[in-house]
Amino acid sequence: MFIQLLFASSATLTVGCALGVLATKNLMHSCIFLLGSLMGVAGLFATLGADFVAVTQIMVYMGGVVILMLFAVMLTGGKDFISRAQNLLGLPSSMGNKWTYSVGGLVGLVLLLTNIRLISNVMNSHAPKVIGDEYPSTVSQIGHLLVKDHVLAFEISSVLLLGALVGAAIIARPRKQK
């Protein structure tokens, strides 16, 4: 029952937020929808018993979206995103409406269910056994492969990511005019 609830909420969140990314024209709203979609994908990985991939999805990809939002604010000048109605009526910026609260509630539900699944897998992984009904935990096998067999590829990818970060910082910096 728990896995079916996690799957249904994760699938709904993933598809709904992916459609939200396509439908919105606001850059920040698009980043928030992308964040929700990636959280849903992490929930789907947790339903499959891919603990390592689910945690990696949360830490790497969702962290990357937060950095994307920071770059979006930096590159657009950090303008306040106030609607025309708020500007005309002199209203303060609102924190959301019923629709954004419902999407936020669904994201929170998927995050809670994913964390419950991941923590229960960690607590039950003292001895190698099948988690859930069908899928074993993959954390120990992937960790062993990364440290022993594929350490060179792991290190090369870290250098590649560092180079991409330095390149993005150089591209994003303001140019001095002579």
The answer to whether the beta carbons of residues 13 and 95 sit under 8 Å apart is: no
Q: Residue 131: what are its φ and ψ, rounded to 5°?
A: -95, 140
Q: Are residues 8 and 65 in the same domain?
A: yes
What pLDDT is attached to residue 12? 92
Q: Is the pLDDT of residue 26 over 80?
A: no
pTM of the model: 0.60
Evaluate whether residue 131 is within a structural domain.
Answer: yes
Structurally, the chain folds into a number of domains equal to: 2
Residue range 146-159, pLDDT digits in tens: 888 888 888 898 89
Q: Are residues 42 and 127 in the same domain?
A: yes
Q: Are residues 33 and 107 in the same domain?
A: yes
The stretch 17-40 carries a mean pLDDT of 86
How far apart are alpha carbons 107 and 89 in whole angstroms?
A: 32
**CB contact set of 155 (below 8 Å; sequence gap of 6+):** none
**CB contact set of 3 (below 8 Å; sequence gap of 6+):** 47, 117, 132
